[in-house]
Amino acid sequence: MTSTARRAPRILVRSAQLAIAVSAVADVFRAAAVRDQYVDRSDASESGLISMVFVYLTTLAIVLFLVWLTQSRRNAQELMPGAAVPSRGRTIGMWFIPLVNLIVPRGIILAIGRASSASWEEKRDTTLVNAWWAAWVGHGLVLTVASRVAPGSMAFLVVEEALMIAAAVLAGLVIERITALQNAALGATVPAEPLAQA
SS3 3: coil
So what's the pLDDT on residue 190? 46
- The CA distance from 16 to 30, in Å, is 20
Amino acid in the structure at residue 35: R
So what's the pLDDT on residue 138? 96
Q: CA dist 162 to 10, 28, 76, 150, 167, Å?
A: 28, 9, 32, 17, 9
So what's the pLDDT on residue 196? 47
- The CA distance from 54 to 64, in Å, is 15
So what's the pLDDT on residue 195? 43
Mean pLDDT by 10 residues, the chain (198 residues): 62 95 94 80 74 94 96 90 87 94 94 89 91 96 91 88 96 95 76 45
So what's the pLDDT on residue 3? 54
Amino acid in the structure at residue 78: E
The per-residue DSSP string of 67-100 comes to: HHHHHHHHHHHHHSTTS-PPPHHHHHHGGGSTTG
CA-based nearest residue to 126, from 139, 141, 109, 138: 109
SS3 192: coil
So what's the pLDDT on residue 188? 59
So what's the pLDDT on residue 198? 42
Rounded to two decimals, what is the model's pTM? 0.85
